Chains A and B, each alone.
Chain A
Amino acid sequence: MGDFLVWVIWFLAAAGCLGSGIAVITFTNPFYSALALIGNLGSLAVLFLLASAEFLAAAQVLVYAGAVMVMFLFVIAYLGDRSEGVRLSGGPNWVRVGAIVAATALLVEVIVVIGMAAGDRLSDPAKIQRSFGSPEEIGRLFLTDHLLAFEITSIVLLVAAVGGVVLGSRSRAEDELDEAEAARAGT
C-alpha cells in the first residue's frame, strides 16, 4: 500500500512538472508564465522529498518559489504592458527548425545515454540512513568537506547583489526621458 501511494504521488508530481513546464513556454502573458513556473517548482519540491532530499525541498520552496519568483513577479508588475510579447517567433525559420531539432536531439540522446550506459546500475539505489538529506547532514558537510563551495557561493551572491543594484540605478538619460514623457502626457 505504501509503495502504491508513493507511485501515485510520484506520477502526480511528474504530471504537474511537465504540465507547468509546457505552460511556461506557451503562455503569452509573462505573468501567467511566472505563475506556471511556481507550480513547476512546487512539483519539483515534492519530487525532491520523494528522493530523500528534505532540506533541498525546503530550500526550493523558500528560496526559489518564495524569493526568486517573487522577484520575477515584481519586475513583471513594474513593466506592465511592456512585458508582453509574441508567443512564437516571427523570426528566421531556420531558428525555429533548429530549435526543435536541438531540443529533440538532446532529449533522445540523454535518454539513450542513460539507457545504454547505466541501465543496470540505475536499479539498485544505495541503502541510506534516516537522516539522509536532513538539514543536519547538509549543514555539517557545508561547514567541513565542502567549505570552499559554501564560501564561494556566498561571494557569488554578494556580486549578484551589487550587480543588481548597479543595473537598477537610474541614469541621467532615463530621467530626462521620463520627464519628457510626463510632459507629453501632461499636455
Chain B
Amino acid sequence: MTTGAWICLWAPLAGALVITLLGTSITRAVAAWISTLSVFTAFAGAVVTFVGLLGRDHEEREVVTSAYTWLATPNFRVDLSLLVDPLSVTMMLIVSGVGGLIVLYSIGYMDGDPEERRYFAYMSLFVFSMLLLVQAGNFLLLLAGWGLVGLASYLLIGFWHERPEAVAAAKKAFVMNAFGDATMALAFFVLMWQTGTLNFLASFEGAAGLSQTAVNLVALGLLGGAVAKSAQIPLHTWLPDAMEGPTPVSALIHAATMVTAGVYLIVRAHPIFELAPSISDLAAGLGAITLLVAGLVALVQTDIKRVIAYSTMSQIGYMFLGAGLGAYGSAMFHLMTHAFFKALLFLAAGLVIHHLANEQDIRKMGGLRGVMPKTFIAFLIGSLALVGIPPLSGFFSKDSILASALASGGYGQVLFVAGLVGALLTGLYTFRLFFVVFLGEPSPFVREHTHDHAHGEGPWTMMWPVAILAVLSVVGGWLQIAGVWHPFGEWLDPIAFGREHLALVEPTVTQDYVTSVIAVALGLLGIYVAWMLYGARSRPVPRNAAVQDTLEHKFWFDELYDLIFYKPAVLLTRGLRRGVEEPLIGGSISGVSVGTRETAGVVGEAQTGYLRSYALAIALGVAILVVVFVSVQ
C-alpha cells in the first residue's frame, strides 16, 4: 500500500524530468502525453493507497513510511517520510485526479504554443510538489513541498514571459508567498526548539506541554503561511493577478489545489490550532472577512477569469471559517467539492476563451448559449454547484460549514451571518457572469469568431475533462448528507488527535435544516436579482460612484501595500545604491587600480639613476640593519 503512495509521489517528478532531459528530441505532443500519463499514474497510485487504507481497521489508518534518514542528530531527526492517512489520501486523490483531468485538458488548450514542452514539465513539477506537500510526514518536508509549489506557481503564472504583466504577476505571487514561508519557518523554529521534533505525530504530542505563548506563536506562524498560500486577507492581492497564467494553470493551481494548501495545513496541524483557540478564531474571522470582501469585489469584475478567481478566494474563506471553528471535516468536504466545480468553471471559461481567440472581457461576450451549448450546460452546472443549490455538491458542503458555525456559540453565530451574506453575494456575482456571457443575443465580437470553429466547441481532450468534472460536481456532494449519511466525516475521523471524532462541533439536525433552507433561499434570491439586472435587464444596475470606485480598486489593498511596502523599499535601495554601492563598493575597485598606479608613481621616484643615491640607500640600510641585529641579540 505504501508503494502506491511512493508511486503517486514520484511519477509526476519522473514525468517532469523525462520531458526536461529529452528536450526538443520529443515532439510537443509526446511531451504533453508524458505529463498527462505521469499524473494519471499518480492517480492510480493514489487509488491503490486509498483501497489499501480502506482495507484496514479504523485505528490502523495512520501509516508512516520513510525512504531514508536525511538528518540525524542526537536531539533532532528528520526523515524523508510520508504520512499515509485518510487526510493525505483524500488530498492525493483530489490533486492527482483533478490534476490529471486538467493536464489532459491542457493538451487541447495549449496546442500550438511553441513552448508546450516547458509548460507540461512545469505542470508535472507542480503536481509532484503538491503531492509532496500533502504526503509529507513531517513539517520540514511539508515546507519543502510548500516552497516548491510556490516555485511552480511562479513559473506557470509567468509562463508567457514576454508579457510584462505576467512577469509582474508571477513576482507578486512569489514575494507574497515568501512572506508566508517566512512565518511558517519561524513557527517551525519555535516548534523544533520547544518540542525537539518536526514529525507530525511527535510534535503534536509535544505541543501539549508548551506554554500558551509558544503554541500561539507556532499557530500564528502556520496561519501566516496558510493565509499567504490561500490568498486570504491580508495576503490576497496576488491571486487575481495570477490569472495572467494560462487558464488550465488557473484551474489547477489557483482553484483546485495549491490555494487549498492553507486549509490542508490547518486541518493537518489541528492539534496545534486547538491548543491556540485565539488563533483559530482569528483564522475563522479572516475567512469570513475574505469571503465578504471577495464576493463584493467580484460584482464589478469584467474579466471572466477574475470573477472566478475572486469566487475562489471567497470559497476558501468558507473553508477557513469552517477549519477555524473546528469543523475540519466540513472544511475538507467543501475543499473537495470546490475542487470539482471550480475546476469545472475555469475549464468551461477556458473553452469560451479558446473559442473567442483569447478574449477574456465579458463585456464583449454575450449570447454564447446558442453558439456553445455544451459549454453552456457545463457552466450552468458549475454555477449552480457554486451557489449551493441542491442536489448539487456545493449545497452539501457549504451548508455543513454554515451549520457548524451556527452551532459554535456567539462568535460562530456572527460568522454564520457573514456566511449567509456571502451566499447571497455568491448567487449574485456568479449568475451575473453567467447571464452576461451566455444569455441574450450573440454580440458582434462573438459573431466574428464563431465561424472559425466549425469543428465544435473544442477537441475531445478539452471536452471530456469538462464532462467528467460536471458529473462530479453533481454527484460529489452525495458523499455526505447532513443528518443522514456521513461516510466522509467518518473517513476522516482517524486523524483526530486524541479523540474519537474529528469535528469539534456537531450541529444538531435542526440547525442543519434551518441553515440549509436559509442558505438556499438567499442563493436563489441572489440569482433572481442577477436575473433582473443582467438577464432580463428589467432594472438598471445601481451605480454609486464611491462604492463602484472602491470595489473596482479592490478595497484599495494594492494601493495600500504599494505605499507601505513597495515605495519605502525602492527608496531604501536607491539610497543604498547611491550611498554605499557606488562610492564604497564600486569605488573601492577603481580605488584599488588608481591607488596602485599612484603608489607606483611615487615609488618609482626611487629609481633615480644616480649611482650615489643607490649607494646611499645601501649605506643607510646597513646602518639600520646593524641596529636591528644588535637589539635582537
- Asked if the two chains touch in their complex, CB atoms less than 8 Å apart, one says yes
Binding site for B on A (CB under 8 A): 89, 91-92, 95, 98-99, 101-103, 105-106, 109-110, 112-113, 116-117
- Interface-facing stretch out of B129-137, B176-184, B212-220, B621-629: B621-629
When distances are taken between beta carbons in the complex, the residues of chain A under 8 Å from B627 are 109
- Point out the residue from A91, A109, A117 that lies within 8 Å of B623, measured CB to CB: A109
CB pair A95–B616 under 8 Å, yes or no, is: yes
Cβ contacts under 8 Å, A103 to chain B: 619
Is B630 part of the contact surface with A, judged by Cβ < 8 Å?
Answer: yes
- Establish whether residues B616 and A102, one from each chain, have CB atoms under 8 Å apart when the complex forms: yes
Number of residues in B with C-beta < 8 Å to the partner? 12
By secondary structure, the A interface counts as helix
- Contact yes or no, A106 B619, CB < 8 A: yes
Chain A residues, CB < 8 A from B56: none
Residue of B610, B616, B626 touching A113 (CB-CB under 8 A): B626
| Nearest 3 Cβ contacts at the A-B interface | A102-B619, A105-B623, A109-B626
- B590 on the A face (CB < 8 A): no
- Distance in angstroms from B613 CB to nearest chain A CB is 6
Taking CB atoms, residues of chain A closer than 8 Å to B633 are 117
Asked if A91 contacts B612 (CB within 8 A), the reply is: yes
Task: State whether the Cβ of B620 lies closer than 8 Å to any Cβ in chain A.
Answer: yes
Query: Is A89 in contact with B612, judged by CB distance below 8 angstroms?
Result: yes
Closest chain B residue to A97, Cβ basis: B616
Give CA–CA (A112, B629) in the complex, Å: 13
Q: Is the CB of A106 within 8 A of B626?
A: yes
7 contacts between A and B (CB under 8 A): A89-B612, A92-B610, A99-B616, A99-B619, A105-B623, A113-B630, A117-B630
Complex: how many Å from CA A136 to CA B225? 102
Q: Using a Cβ cutoff of 8 Å, how many contacts connect chains A and B?
A: 38
Name the A residues within 8 Å of B626 (CB-CB).
Answer: 106, 109-110, 113
Question: Separation in Å of the A108 CB from the closest CB of chain B?
Answer: 9
Query: Which B residue sits closest to A116, measured CB to CB?
Result: B630
Report the minimum CB–CB distance from B33 to chain A (whole Å): 88
Chain B residues with CB under 8 A of A91: 610, 612
- Closest A-chain residue to B615, C-beta based? A99
| A98 and B616 form a contact (CB under 8 A) | yes
In the docked arrangement, what's the CA distance between A113 and B628, Å? 11
Contacts of B619 in A (CB 8 A): 99, 102-103, 106
Q: Which B residues, 579 to 610, have Cβ-Cβ distances below 8 Å to chain A?
A: 610
CB distance from A99 to the nearest CB of B (A): 6
Q: Are A95 and B613 in contact (CB under 8 A)?
A: yes
A127 CB → nearest B CB, Å: 29
B residues less than 8 Å from A110 (CB atoms):
626
Q: Once the chains are docked, how many angstroms separate the CA of A89 from the CA of B623?
A: 22
Cα-based distance from A89 to B630 in the complex (angstroms) = 33
For A106, what are the chain B residues with a Cβ–Cβ distance below 8 Å?
A: 619, 622-623, 626
Q: Which residue of B lies closest to A102 (CB)?
A: B619
Give the residue name and chain of the A residue nearest to B623 (CB).
A105
Least distance between A9 CB and chain B CB atoms (Å): 32
CA distance A103 to B619 in the complex (A): 8
Given contacts A89-B612, A91-B612, A95-B612, contact A102 B630 (CB under 8 A): no
Closest to A101 in B: B620
Report Cα–Cα, A117/B613, bound state, in Å. Answer: 32
Bound complex: CA A43 to CA B620 (Å): 29
Residues in B whose Cβ lies below 8 Å from that of A105: 620, 623
Alpha-carbon gap, A109 to B624, bound state (A): 9
Q: Which of B412-430 contact A (CB under 8 A)?
A: none
7 more A-B contacts (CB under 8 A) besides A95-B612, A102-B623, A105-B623?
Answer: A91-B610, A98-B620, A99-B616, A99-B619, A106-B622, A110-B626, A117-B630
Bound Cα distance A98, B489 (Å): 102
Please indicate the chain A residues that have their CB under 8 angstroms from the CB of B612 in the complex.
Answer: 89, 91, 95, 99
CA distance A89 to B616 in the complex (A): 14
What CA separation (Å) do A110 and B629 show in the bound complex?
12
Q: Which of B623, B630, B633 has the most CB of A within 10 A?
A: B623
Q: Tell me the complex Cα distance, A30–B411, Å.
A: 118
Alpha-carbon separation in the docked complex, A105 to B625 (Å) = 11
- Minimum CB–CB distance from A86 to chain B (whole Å) comes to 13
C-alpha gap A84/B630 in the complex (Å): 41
Which of chain A's residues has its CB closest to B608's CB?
A: A92
CB distance from B330 to the nearest CB of A (A): 97
A89 CA / B619 CA spacing, docked (Å): 18
In the bound complex, residues from chain B placing their C-beta under 8 Å from that of A98 are 616, 620
Q: Which residues of B contact A89 (CB under 8 A)?
A: 612
A101 surroundings in chain B (CB, below 8 A): 620
Give the CA-CA distance A169 to B102 in the complex, in Å. Answer: 100
Contacts of A102 in B (CB 8 A): 616, 619-620, 622-623
A95 vs B431: C-alpha distance when bound (angstroms):
102
Chain A residues with CB below 8 A from B613, complex form? 92, 95
Q: How far is the CA of A105 from the CA of B630 in the complex (A)?
A: 14
CA distance A112 to B613 in the complex (A): 26
- Give Cα A173 to B616, complex, Å: 34
Complex CA distance for A105 and B623, rounded to whole angstroms = 6
CA distance A99 to B619 in the complex (A): 8
